[in-house]
Amino acid sequence: MALIALSLPILPGKKAKWQEMADEIAAGPMKARLDASRKAAGIHERTFIQETPHGDFVIVTLEGDDPLTAFGGMMADPSMADFAAWAADVHGMDPDAPPPSPRLIYDSKA
């Protein structure tokens, strides 16, 4: 199993929009859609909010056989087009581009 972690900024003025989606994921129909999308992609996702004095960030971990390829597949999934558009608006990311690839600096088990 491979693991990647992505840090995505919540753009200025987009925190309320981000929170609306977080609430819908926690208690609404979006959770089932995301769960199905992640299952179809063969990954386990964990998402965290990191609130800092320099802005708010979402930290996403994707774990599976090929999380980078899975990420691209999820963002290109026509059934998730509204979510990809939301992510582009809130995080300023290009859903058609690969995510920025993090570089591992430290692993206590390596």
CATH number of the domain at 64, please.
3.30.70
In this structure, is residue 24 part of a structural domain?
A: yes
> What are phi and psi for residue 80, nearest 5 degrees?
-115, 20
Name the domain count of the chain: 1
Q: Looking at the predicted structure, is the pLDDT value of residue 34 above 80?
A: yes
Question: Can you give the pLDDT at residue 99?
Answer: 78
Percentage with pLDDT > 90 across the chain: 71
Question: Can you give the pLDDT at residue 29?
Answer: 86
Q: Looking at the predicted structure, is the pLDDT value of residue 21 above 90?
A: yes
Distances in whole angstroms, Cα of residue 21 to Cα of each of 42, 94, 109: 23, 18, 35
- CA proximity to 49, closest of 59, 35, 41, 39: 59
Range of the structural domain that residue 51 is part of: 2-91
pTM of the complete model beyond 0.85: yes
Q: What is the pLDDT of residues 57-88, one digit of tens each?
A: 999 999 999 998 998 888 888 988 999 999 99
In this structure, is residue 23 part of a structural domain?
A: yes
